[in-house]
Amino acid sequence: MNKEVLISTAEKMMSKPKGILAMDESSPTCAKRFAALDIPDSEDNRRRYRELIVTTPNLSNYISGAILFDETFHQKMSSGEYFREYLKENDILPGIKVDTGAKDFSNHIDEKITEGLDGLRDRLINYMSLGAKFCKWRAVITISSNIPSEACILSNCNSLARYASLCQENNLVPIVEPEVLINGSHSIEDCDSITRKTLKCLFEQLDLMNIFLPGTILKPSMVISGDKNSSRADFHKVATMTIDCLKSVCPKDLGGIAFLSGGQSDEEATQHLSLMNKEYTDLPWRVTFSYARAIQQSALNTWRGDDANTSRAQDILSNRAKLCSEASIGN
């Protein structure tokens, strides 16, 4: 582990006024997003869509790093250049999602465990040799009656820590993403208590594995009411409770925090981030975004697979990225 390399990458990822673009939807997830808009699911359409994203003018003013799916990482653009090389030339760090997905957790109904540790060391060595600078691993925690179980939280956090350890061995900054899902009718208080429990467990596991925190980025969900809750907390309460939660559980030397949007609308995800940065100016770490849907969805809705819409879709994407960037500095 080279701590200087890890710190330098983490600092670039967290540089102001930027955030991280998650464009690492797996092929099945991409197929779902395409199907909703009648875009045929094919490798070429995924490539065309990803090319639209990365060639958006001025993207690097707002985006420090892009998380790619394995297919995109090894894919060439229409110019013949690899996506990963194009990003690097355009001052955007290429990152890679390395988990192999959240699978049913044996003997635990409605819970998931993220897989992907087998063979991970060799995959990381290969990604690093091809220019990857950071990685992502997403765990999902579901809130419902009697869940999450201790077993689900502990198993997922243990896997996140083992993944982080392998990343750092190879000088790749790990993004650790324990997503407490928004789906459900739970209150913001329930989300707060589960998020605290999960993050506390995560930092215990990271500590157990001697993870170098300044070279680690946390990608949490916000503390927020369930999407089916009938009296959802307002913007201000979400921002306040999220920061209170993070302040109480995240060590001060963590490399940075970059939220997922997790099914919030574009507007909600941007407002929440903006309020956090406006109202809390003395946080020990940078607090920014690592959004997928809250940056991409409206552009995808406009593109719909038609080249005639590319430039309009890029304008929309650029505007969303700009608003998120502004929010990351409290504007």
Catalytic residue among 25, 112, 219, 268: 219
Phi, psi for 188 (deg, rounded to 5): -65, -30
**Is 197 part of the annotated catalytic residue set?**
no
- Residues 33-92 touching ligand 13P, rule: CB under 6 A, are none
Site string for ligand 13P, 91-130 (x = CB under 6 A): ----------------------------------------
Q: Which residue do the tokens 């958006």 mark?
A: 56
Q: Are 255 and 14 in contact (CB under 8 A)?
A: yes
> In this structure, which amino acid lies at residue 330?
G
Which of 168, 262, 270, 303 binds ligand 13P (CB under 6 A)? It is 262
Residue with tokens 């955030």: 19
Least CB distance from residue 101 to ligand 13P, whole Å? 11
Tokens standing for 172? Answer: 């790749």
End-to-end CA distance of the chain: 37
Least separation in angstroms between CB 34 and ligand 13P: 15
Among 13, 14, 21, 22, binds ligand 13P (CB under 6 A): 22
* Amino acid at the residue 232: R
Q: Which is nearer to ligand 13P, 84 or 136 (CB)?
A: 136
Residues with Cβ within 8 Å of residue 310, at least 6 apart in sequence: 52, 303
Q: Which is nearer to ligand 13P, 213 or 292 (CB)?
A: 292
Q: Which of residues 232-261 bind ligand 13P (CB under 6 A)?
A: 260-261
**CB 214, min distance to ligand 13P, A:** 22
Task: Tell me if 163 sits within 8 A of 118, measured CB to CB.
Answer: no
Among 294, 300, 317, 321, binds ligand 13P (CB under 6 A): 294
For 9-25, the three-class secondary structure string (H helix, E strand, C coil) is: HHHHHCCCCCEEEEECC
Shortest spacing between CB 231 and ligand 13P, in angstroms: 23
Of 199, 200, 205, the C-alpha closest to 165 is 205
Q: Which stretch binds ligand 13P (CB under 6 A): 72-80, 105-113, 287-295, 309-317?
A: 287-295
The C-alpha angle 181, 214, 14, rounded to 5 degrees, equals 65
d(CA 85, CA 76) in angstroms, rounded, equals 9
The CA angle 71-124-105, to the nearest 5 degrees, is 75
Q: Is 291 in the site for ligand 13P (CB under 6 A)?
A: yes
- CA angle 295/299/303 to nearest 5° reads 155
Give CA angle at 89 (286, 216), nearest 5°: 30
Site membership for ligand 13P, residue 137 (CB under 6 A) = no
277 makes contact with ligand 13P (CB under 6 A): no
219 is catalytic: yes
* Stretch 166-185: interaction string toward ligand 13P, x if CB under 6 A: -----------x--------
Please list every residue from 205 through 224 that binds ligand 13P, using CB under 6 A. none
Q: Is 300 in the site for ligand 13P (CB under 6 A)?
A: no
**Which single residue is written with the structure tokens 């995240």?**
250
Q: Between residues 5 and 71, which has the closer beta carbon with respect to ligand 13P?
A: 71
Residue 23 CB, nearest approach to ligand 13P (Å)? 9
Catalytic residue IDs: 177, 219
The residues that touch ligand 13P, with contacts defined as CB under 6 A, are 22, 138, 177, 260-262, 291-294
